[in-house]
Amino acid sequence: MKSKLVVLVLSVVLVAGLVVTGCAPEAAVPDAEEEAQAPEEEEEQVVPAAPAAEAINWAGQSHNQPGEPYYENFARVCEDISLASGGRLNIEPFAGGSIVPKTKEFDGLDTGVLDCAQNCPMYWMEHIPTGGIFTYVVGGLSPVEFLGWLYDGGGAGFLNEAIADYNVYAIPASGLISTPEVFLHSATPIEKSSDFKGLKIRGAGDGAEVLNRMGASMVFFSHLEIYESMQRGVIDAFECSNPTNEWAVGLNEVGEHVYLSGVRQPMEYLPFTVCRESWEALPDDLKCLVERISQQAAIRLYSQMLVSDAENLAKFVDYGCDVQFLSTEIENDFAVAAEEFYAEKCSDDLFYAGVYESQQAYKKAVRMTFPRL
């Protein structure tokens, strides 16, 4: 009887267990809210990649030609900027006349046809009457002094103030700074100041103005036209550039009398200029990159030209040119005529006077301490 009771109890428990198991409802499907609250670590999070920045493409022009040191300097600056930016800013360099007429690069920047350029401020004089004083001053600052004046003597501020009404911005102390130019090449000897009277001479800038005061008949055209003009007798003499640039374009073959003196043009400055709208559209890091590379190029070219000028001047001598220093008489008379020229310029233009006086004050201060700088 007791064993039957045990069997009955076990049977009831077993049946109950089967009933409970068989009738239990299926697990409920979590609703949307519960699904949304599932642990985030169970899902792989994919962070979208940032879109690649679009490359900025600029067109730049030098007034010089491939193979000439000034053009090669400009092309190297463009290449260095493109490389250092990792392709974010790509500048394609063009030779003079490729996009806008040669020496008219300022107009190309102002109209936005060019994004950047390198040429002499004296070529801007149809727009900026004071342009010449930013290229060089007769008997003025040496190359190193001029760079110092641009950096810390207020020069860069004066330059951009002069072009403030145009769509053009000049990178401070950038581009290139050259060695002194050859004073003059002539088909005939020039031994005294009176020899200038009646001579038709190709020239540009303040030096040409001073030679004109000394009796020469001055004309200006591209340096690429000098060779043929001398051969045809269109001009009797010319001033152009330093020995390196002149040798590069074959000017050793014309104007056999070569006169050396730093008094006419102790240096030449060609800033790296940009279209103001293009410049303002650049992010700050690319602006910094353009500034640093174009500024470094100026002192780099000057260093190279010091050695190159010495080597190329020797080539002029070997070729058979009559190379000699300008006479003391001409140098002194030229300096006097220059002082008169600048006095008149300063009296006619207060801004010009401010720039000239700033340069002269800087020169005096520096040479008082470092007379051979």
Q: Which domains does the chain have, with CATH numbers?
A: 56-179+267-319 (3.40.190.170)
Segment (H or E) for 259: strand 257-260
Q: Kindly state the tokens that stand for 144.
A: 């190193």
Q: What is the pLDDT of residues 232-277, one digit of tens each?
A: 999 999 999 999 989 989 999 999 999 999 999 999 999 999 999 9
Q: Is the pLDDT of residue 19 over 50?
A: no
| Model pLDDT, residue 23 | 36
Q: Is the pLDDT of residue 149 over 70?
A: yes
What integer is the mean pLDDT of 312-339?
96
Residue entry with tokens 């005061």: 213
- pLDDT > 90: percent of the chain: 77
Q: Is the pLDDT of residue 372 over 70?
A: no
Three-class SS state of 238: strand
Listed residue (177, 173, 171) closest to 117, CA to CA = 171
**Whether 66 contacts 128, CB under 8 Å:** no
**Which residues are 89's β-sheet partners?**
56
Listed residue (254, 295, 249) closest to 272, CA to CA = 295
Q: Is the pLDDT of residue 203 over 90?
A: yes
Q: What is the pLDDT of residues 60-71, one digit of tens each?
A: 999 999 988 889
Q: Kindly state the tokens that stand for 175.
A: 């581009």
- Rounded to 5 degrees, what are φ and ψ at 32? -60, -40
Q: How far apart are CA 65 and CA 180, in angstroms?
A: 20
Residues in the chain, total: 373
**The model's pTM:** 0.76
**Whether 69 contacts 36, CB under 8 Å:** no
Rg (CA), the chain: 37
Contacts of 46 (CB under 8 A, 6+ apart): none
Listed residue (173, 179, 136, 151) closest to 294, CA to CA = 173
Q: What is the largest CA-CA distance in the chain?
A: 156
Segment (H or E) for 183: strand 182-186
Q: How far apart are CA 162 and CA 135, in angstroms?
A: 13
Count CB-CB contacts under 10 A for residue 18. Answer: 10
How much is the mean pLDDT over the chain? 87
